[in-house]
Amino acid sequence: MRSITTVLLLASMLIWRPAHAQTAPLSPQQQYDKQKKSPALALTMEALCPIAGIGGFYAGETDKATLLTVISGVAAGVGVGSVLWLVHLDGQDSSGFGAVTKGAAQSTAVSLLITSAVVYLLSRASGLALASEATAAYNADLQARLGARPD
């Protein structure tokens, strides 16, 4: 039994070699091709995620991406809060002085809703621009560090 195990072990060692023993060192161009970020993936991630900044995170631009994430998250929260406030105000009494305060509160809620929608859309557009720019900057920096030739 021991001899069969030894033969199988020796045969597997001859057939299987570790990956590092079989590969040659990568050229700078091969390293670049392996490590570069995809602009299409960054834009797709940014477009599909409801919170802005994800494409920037992918490309390594964490500071700006974090700011966009916070801005779009706050804008979305204010928008949802405004809608809930409008739903709440719809069930309120609208006679006498209540009509005046209800009208003012509804105007404020609508203003907040519109402002948050504009801020959210601007943060999403900024996220798309950031994803594209950050990916290009990352790839250019990587290319310079590795000494690879331009695409």
- pTM for the complete prediction? 0.72
The answer to whether residue 58 sits within a structural domain is: yes
The answer to whether residue 75 sits within a structural domain is: yes
**Tally of residues, the chain:** 151
Domains: count for the chain: 1
How far is CA 151 from each of CA 29, 32, 96, 121, 139, rounded to the nearest angstrom?
A: 10, 10, 71, 33, 10
pLDDT tens by residue, 10-46: 556 556 655 555 567 888 788 888 889 999 999 999 9
d(CA 48, CA 44): 6
- Asked whether the beta carbons of 52 and 69 are under 8 A apart, the reply is yes
The answer to whether residue 107 sits within a structural domain is: yes
| Per-residue tokens: 18 | 């570790």
- State which residues form the domain around 75: 28-146
DSSP type of residue 52: T
The answer to whether residue 111 sits within a structural domain is: yes
pLDDT of residue 120: 95
pLDDT tens by residue, 84-141: 988 988 877 677 666 777 788 888 999 999 999 999 999 999 999 999 999 999 999 9
The answer to whether residue 12 sits within a structural domain is: no
The answer to whether residue 92 sits within a structural domain is: yes
Give the dihedral of Cα atoms 23, 24, 30, 34; nearest 10 deg: 30
The answer to whether residue 99 sits within a structural domain is: yes
